[in-house]
Structure 1
Amino acid sequence: MNGDSTPNGLRVLPWFGLAILVIVLDQYSKQLASSLLDYARPVEVFSWFDLTLQHNSGAAFSFLAQAGGWQRWFFSGIAVVISVGLSVWLVRLPREQRLLALSLALILGGAIGNLWDRLALGYVVDFISVHYAGSYFPAFNIADAAITTGAALMLLESFLTRPGRETDPSLEDDQ
């Protein structure tokens, strides 16, 4: 195993630090929104952007929001499993895969930020509202933005990574 494909080991700490930063920013922004905004009353920032406090007891786009309460524990369980899986992946990830590590850290931080809400409040606090010409995107939060950005970066990384390169860089010479 060459030095570049060595698992992160202790070098994973900055990536976990980024995940913690996402959690802190997410929770702080949700606390501000909850204390300064009236529920479901939009505060216009720009013609296309409002701050609107919402409580989402479902998943993305309020999926299963009216399911009767069992979804809180179901989505919390999924978030715990995903967070553990992402953490293990991050530790085992080869050091040179920085873009993938960045994406995993953002997704991890976002998942834990929303998990925290679900466990502590029974719902996720959303407050960012984007709209155009009367069409509204579902309200979201910093954790959701981190998860989406992380997923987009993961997709980008998959297009940028050539098969075989991450395991054996010498394969490039044979092609």
Structure 2
Amino acid sequence: MRASPNALPWLSLSLVIIALDQLTKHIVLIALQPYVPKEVIAGLLNWTLAFNTGAAFSFLAGADGWQRWLFGALAIGVSAMLAFWLSRTERRDWRNALPFSLIIGGAIGNLIDRLRLGHVTDFIQVYHQDWVFPSFNIADSAISIGAVLLVVGGFASRKSPDAGG
């Protein structure tokens, strides 16, 4: 019996996410002034260049700099773990391979910023009237979508006790 191929080729999606993330960050660093919104869709979306030394929602952004290494180590550890899981996942199992690949791409995209710049470059700002969602980037979006897909996939794969299963 022949073993089915693993899902490591899904890492090509991670590479696409990393490339898009780094390309868009390069563009906004050239085109935008820090913290000066450029309206894209009135009442909904701005491009606003911002820098985050913390994690999601600026968690630990005010720390003394050690958080850069903590979040870097977490990105490497989580990416390595997910890559290992990809090696144990069947290639056709896109319900797991897709979110793993998105999270890896996002984690590495932000890791590059942390190592190169000491902070993460954010630029997508969603808002409505006085409410403003924290700025984010392509890498953050990939991580969030991947996490949601993992949760949804986890619920979808559960079988109810009376389903005969």
Structures share a fold, TM > 0.5? yes
Distance in 2, matches of 1:118 and 1:100, equals: 27
Distance in 2, matches of 1:88 and 1:125, equals: 28
Deviation, 1:7, is: 5.8
Trace 1:34-53 onto structure 2 (pairs within 5 A).
34-47=29-42, 48-53=44-49
* C-alpha contact (below 8 Å) 1:7/1:92 kept by paired residues: no
1:119 match? 115
Deviation, 1:95, is: 3.3
2:65 match? 69
Trace 1:86-125 onto structure 2 (pairs within 5 A).
86-125=82-121
Distance in 2, matches of 1:126 and 1:65, equals: 13
Q: Which runs of 5+ in 2 are unaligned?
A: none
Deviation, 1:86, is: 0.8
Q: Deviations over 1:79-111 (max 9, x none)?
A: 111111011011111334211100100000000
Instruction: Give 4+ residue runs of structure 1 displaced > 4 Å after superposition.
Output: none
3-state SS in 2 of match to 1:64: coil
Is 1:28 equivalent to 2:27 in the alignment? no
* C-alpha contact (below 8 Å) 2:98/2:146 kept by paired residues: yes
Q: Pairwise CA RMSD of aligned residues?
A: 1.8
Residue identity opposite 2:139 in structure 1: A
- What is the TM-score of this pair, normalised by structure 2? 0.91
Residue identity opposite 1:83 in structure 2: S
* C-alpha contact (below 8 Å) 1:18/1:109 kept by paired residues: yes
Is 1:17 equivalent to 2:23 in the alignment? no
Residue identity opposite 1:78 in structure 2: L
1:146 match? 142
- What is the TM-score of this pair, normalised by structure 1? 0.86
Residue identity opposite 2:141 in structure 1: A
Residue identity opposite 1:19 in structure 2: S
* C-alpha contact (below 8 Å) 1:44/1:50 kept by paired residues: yes
Q: Deviations over 1:40-85 (max 9, x none)?
A: 0000011210000001000110111110111111111111111110
Residue identity opposite 2:79 in structure 1: S
* C-alpha contact (below 8 Å) 1:107/1:147 kept by paired residues: yes
Q: Which runs of 5+ in 1 are unaligned?
A: 164-171
Residue identity opposite 2:22 in structure 1: Q
